[in-house]
Amino acid sequence: MTDKLIIFDTTLRDGEQSPGASMTRDEKLRIARQLERLRVDVIEAGFAASSNGDFESVQAIARAVKDSTVCSLARANDRDIARAAEALKEANRARIHTFIATSALHMEKKLRMTPEQVLEQARQAVRFARNLVEDIEFSPEDGYRSDPDFLCRVIETVIAEGATTINVPDTVGYAIPELYGNFIKNLRERIPNSDKAIWSVHCHNDLGMAVANSLAGVKIGGARQVECTINGLGERAGNCSLEEVVMAVKTRRDYFGLDVGIDTQHIVAASRMVSQTTGFVVQPNKAVVGANAFAHASGIHQDGVLKARDTYEIMRAEDVGWSANKIVLGKLSGRNAFKQRLQELGVQLESEGEINVAFAKFKELADRKSEIFDEDILALVSDESVTSEKEQFGFVSLAQHSETGERPEATIVFTVDGKEVRSSSEGNGPVDASMKAIEAHVRSGAEMVLYSVNAISGSTESQGEVTVRLQSAGRVVNGVGADPDIVVASAKAYLSALNKLQSKAERVAAQG
Ligand code: KIV
Ligand code: ZN
């Protein structure tokens, strides 16, 4: 047993399965680079066989990432596994993560297979995968609710076929820390070849215990890999949160006695990048990455911290990447300074053309806002018009009028497949009018299920960051837009959501 804890990040796969959190290839690539900068050991880049878009994302990440292992999920069948191997072909280090459900409920109701058929399919899948890639992870889906005797047979079989990591998912977030830890301990003790694989935990947060369960799987069960996501992003209540699990193991090294390779100073930037990209806002009191995580409001606490920081702080804010909001650039900053700051923030734009577009946007922003913070720069490069990805809808300009006692109206100019269109509408407020103006032309018929505005850097001078969640034909997407004018930010967010909705990608769910 090694004393290194492997951090396996699945923000781009399980995290993305969260309704509305779908990301474009460029967005995923940017996050993957940040994960590499964080020194995540394994990046689960997607589920290559689920759609062409996912395949291309996994492929692009496999090409770009050099230090972390890049992994693709695959159901336990030859087609999925071959597709995963193909997408990972150019990776420095590649892993295939194959899975099949093993709980009685899933086998009978979902797969309509007998336990013997499931066992045989798991065996064949790992055998096939092992011929393509050396590093194979196997997950018995809904493992925690599976019959331990059957699970022992399946896991022993796949290890014998060459699986190198065994992951035990608590797919529905049903576990209790002590029980989950003992469940894994028991499996490891009963399976004769259990020492030939690294054991991994994968916990969902339905009862708010994903981090606690994962830590129990490590401490009691002896697992040496934790599967997690930035900000705990993931289906329903989410997955185990990377920042919490990593900081728990680091801060309480006295108890866990384990090393983690994560460069924690990049945690806050990663958290912001994921939240700005997906529109999933981080709650202020969220551990480690919430805006209040290191804020001391009560007089007694403030006094204590000023006298000796460790009276009330168990971690140092700067160790996880909280620096005072730095004014990094202003109106007079040049292209080189801008480019260098992008590099420091871990943003790698694909071409000089993209840097030029981003720089022009930066200059525009600096004309309207004297202090440009890191958050502004990250929001700016998240703007779809900066990246080379061709989107169907693009924002051009907006005029709106609102006055007490008058019905607000808005006129928006935007592009549809590169061609400019102009559309006007009235609405209950200027935001409503601008969305109605877009809808009057596009006629998507989508239902808006969420609208939220956030100030990026805390003051009224700040850029507003708007998230719009649309639902149509069973698909849910989030669009994000940022601008000092929140009506413009709203229109950008609406167009961004429409772009995601219109993308043809038909995806197969990992837990279908
Ligand atoms: O939660 C789960 O069971 C999964 C598997 C596909 C590993 O995400
Ligand atoms: Zn999962």
* CATH code, domain with 476: 3.30.160.270
CA 510 – CA 50 distance, rounded (Å): 8
| 82 in a structural domain | yes
Same domain, 203 and 60: yes
**Which amino acids are annotated as binding site for Mn(2+), given as ranges?**
14, 202, 204, 239
19 confidence band (pLDDT: 50, 70, 90) = confident
Q: Closest ligand 1 atom, CA of 10?
A: 8
171 CA → ligand 1 middle, Å: 6
Q: Is the CB of 171 under 6 A from ligand 1?
A: yes
Q: Is the CB of 465 under 6 A from ligand 1?
A: no
Q: What average pLDDT does range 436-445 have in this prediction? A: 96
Q: What average pLDDT does range 268-280 have in this prediction? A: 92
Cβ atoms of residues 57 and 21 within 8 Å: no
User: Which structural domain, as residue segments, surrounds residue 464?
Assistant: 390-502
Q: What average pLDDT does range 357-365 have in this prediction? A: 88
DSSP designation for 282: P
Question: How many domains does the chain contain in total?
Answer: 3
Same domain, 373 and 460: no
Of 256, 281, 311, the domain-final residue: 256
2 confidence band (pLDDT: 50, 70, 90) = low
Of 419, 411, 418, 473, which is closest to residue 438 (Cα–Cα)? Answer: 411
CA 345 – CA 363 distance, rounded (Å): 18
Tens of pLDDT, residue by residue over 162-188, are 999 999 999 999 999 999 999 999 999
14 CA → ligand 1 middle, Å: 7
511 CA → ligand 1 middle, Å: 7
168 CA → ligand 1 middle, Å: 9
- For residue 157 the two structure tokens come to 């079989």
Same domain, 370 and 417: no
Probe ligand 1: pick from 97, 144, 145, 171, max atoms within 8 Å of CB?
171
Q: pTM value? A: 0.88
Same domain, 349 and 402: no
Share of the chain above pLDDT 90, in %: 71
Ligand positioned closest to the Cα atom of 240 = 2
| 306 in a structural domain | no
**How confident is the model at residue 511, as a pLDDT?**
59
Q: How many other CB atoms are there within 10 angstroms of residue 240's CB atom?
A: 29
Same domain, 348 and 244: no
| 281 in a structural domain | no
**How confident is the model at residue 512, as a pLDDT?**
45
Of 233, 256, 279, the domain-final residue: 256
Whole-number mean pLDDT of the chain?
Answer: 92
Q: How many other CB atoms are there within 10 angstroms of residue 277's CB atom?
A: 21
Sheet containing 475-483: which strands, arranged edge to edge?
Answer: 447-455, 464-472, 475-483
Same domain, 146 and 248: yes
253 confidence band (pLDDT: 50, 70, 90) = very high
| 271 in a structural domain | no
* 3-class SS of residue 390: coil
Q: What average pLDDT does range 140-159 have in this prediction? A: 98
Same domain, 445 and 337: no
**Which amino acids are annotated as binding site, given as ranges?**
14, 202, 204, 239
Q: What average pLDDT does range 473-502 have in this prediction? A: 91
| 190 in a structural domain | yes
Q: Which residues of 241-261 are buried (b: 16+ CB within 10 A; e: fewer)?
A: bbbbbbbbbbeeeeebebebe
392 CA → ligand 2 middle, Å: 32
Cβ atoms of residues 200 and 168 within 8 Å: yes
Probe ligand 1: pick from 9, 11, 12, 14, max atoms within 8 Å of CB?
14
| 25 in a structural domain | yes
Residue of minimum CA distance from atom 2 in ligand 1: 171
Same domain, 21 and 92: yes
Q: Does 508 score more than 70 pLDDT?
A: no
CA 232 – CA 213 distance, rounded (Å): 14
Q: Does 468 score more than 80 pLDDT?
A: yes
Q: What average pLDDT does range 345-349 have in this prediction? A: 74
CA 325 – CA 374 distance, rounded (Å): 8
Cβ atoms of residues 150 and 106 within 8 Å: no
DSSP structure string for 303-368? HHHHH-GGGT-SS-GGGGT-----EEE-TT--HHHHHHHHHHTT---SSHHHHHHHHHHHHHHHHH
Q: Is the CB of 510 under 6 A from ligand 1?
A: yes
**How confident is the model at residue 385, as a pLDDT?**
64
**How confident is the model at residue 282, as a pLDDT?**
94
Of 385, 417, 433, the domain-final residue: 385
